[in-house]
Amino acid sequence: MIRAILTALVLLTGTPAVAQPLIIAHRGASGERPEHTRVAYELAIEQGADLIEPDLVLTRDGVFVDRHENEIGGTTDVEGRPEFADRKTTKTIDGVKTTGWFTEDFTLAELKTLRARERLAAFRPGSAAFDGQEPILTFDEVVAIARAASARTGRTIAVAPELKHPSYFAGIGLPMEDAFVGELERLGLTGAEAPIIIQCFEVGPLERLATRIDAPLAQLVAGAGGPVDRPDLTYARMIAPEGLKAIAAYAAWVAPEMTMVLPRDAQGRSAAPSTLVGDTHAAGLKVVVWTVRAENAFLPAEHRRGEGLADHGDMAAYVRALAETGVDAIFSDFPGLARAGL
């Protein structure tokens, strides 16, 4: 189905698909509504997103819920809920000590009593105005939103779930992979043409999923560090030509940080494109970059406007610059602005 979306873009535009990258709504229209909520996804679809992204973590009773991290102090009202005060704790997640409230310490029923709030309120006061209104969604509910929108609009709205911290969850007795495959089978999302792209920063989960399902997989890579389940690897080695060939054995996509495609110089301006897009395509893989945001704090210097870091710059121009490198898809918190840049 992802291939079909790309083909449709060629037919509609008369140009190669790389000239019209897919727009993936990063946690929904999360620049304008609290992330991972129904209103964020619905707005993203209205703005023309091709895919909507849920980040997936597990509850104590083994249900996939849609949160950026398993720590939910920054994205829900849990801190103000006295009945859950004793759940606050400190854990080490992928080597990082974190204090807060964690999804694996709550049942789904308990999490459903919480309400979402804006994570970047200082940057996004308009989104923060929606705090306290929306419940936490399950993966099932996100897929249902995409399917209802597909029927309503006549467009195929796909989903791009990211499995968060699978090694950590396995280590606490909540392995993700079997449960996730079961979900995909029940939802009919295991085939090569399924409207889905499954992401992960770890390698092993993707390699194992590739032996069990045919749905497209995306290897996330960052500008520094490496996958927590493969201490022998760095992301830099993974995006070298030999590393990309290894990724192509199990995945269809590579998902780098946007600055790995358009680096920035010492003044924060965009430099010449790297060879990553060409190298990735040569390995038979597609490229999706993350994450384009409208605020000056996240844009290269030449696209900033105004004085404040929270002021909006010319994000549409930056999207065009990324599209010109040949990327196949773009994650954005502002899918409407991203669409306007194409």
Residue 128: inside a domain? no
Q: Is residue 305 part of a domain?
A: yes
Say what the pLDDT of residue 264 is: 98
Answer whether 222's CB lies under 8 Å from 258's CB: no
Q: CA-to-CA distance for 70 and 28, rounded, in angstroms?
A: 18
Query: What is the mean pLDDT of the segment spanning 86-115?
Result: 98
In whole angstroms, what is the distance from residue 328 CA to residue 251 CA? 15
pLDDT of 52 over the 90 cut: yes
CATH number at residue 36: 3.20.20.190
Rounded to whole angstroms, the Cα distance separating 28 from 44 reads: 5
Mean pLDDT of the region 221-246: 98
Peptide linkage before 291 cis (omega within 30 of 0): yes
Q: Is residue 91 part of a domain?
A: no
pLDDT over threshold 80, residue 64 = yes
Give the amino acid at 54: P
Helix axes 38-46, 139-153, angle to 10 degrees: 30
The one-character DSSP state at 137 is P
Specify if 126 maps to a domain. no
Answer yes or no: are the C-beta atoms of 283 and 247 closer than 8 Å.
yes
What's residue 37's pLDDT? 98
Residue 7, domain member (yes or no): yes
The domain total for the chain is 1
Identify whether 215 is part of a domain.
yes
* pLDDT at 18 (0 to 100): 42
Instruction: Please state, for a pLDDT cut of 70, what percent of the chain lies above it.
Output: 94
Residue 86 domain-assigned? no
Gap between the Cα atoms of 157 and 22, Å rounded = 11
Count CB neighbours of 27 within 10 A.
28
Question: For residue 301, is pLDDT > 60?
Answer: yes
Spatial separation of the C-alpha atoms in residues 58 and 218, rounded to whole Å: 20
Domain of 21? 2-71+135-340
Confidence at 2, pLDDT banded by 50, 70, 90:
low
| Amino acid sitting at position 152 | R
CA–centroid distance for 144 within its chain: 18
Placement of tokens 């269809």 in the chain: 252
Helix (H) or strand (E) holding 69: none
Bridge partners (DSSP) listed for residue 24 = 51, 331
Residue 111 has pLDDT above 60, yes or no: yes
- Give the pLDDT mean for 4-8: 51
In a domain, 257, yes or no: yes
Nearest to 29, CA basis, from 232, 291, 217: 291
The answer on pLDDT for 12 being more than 80 is no
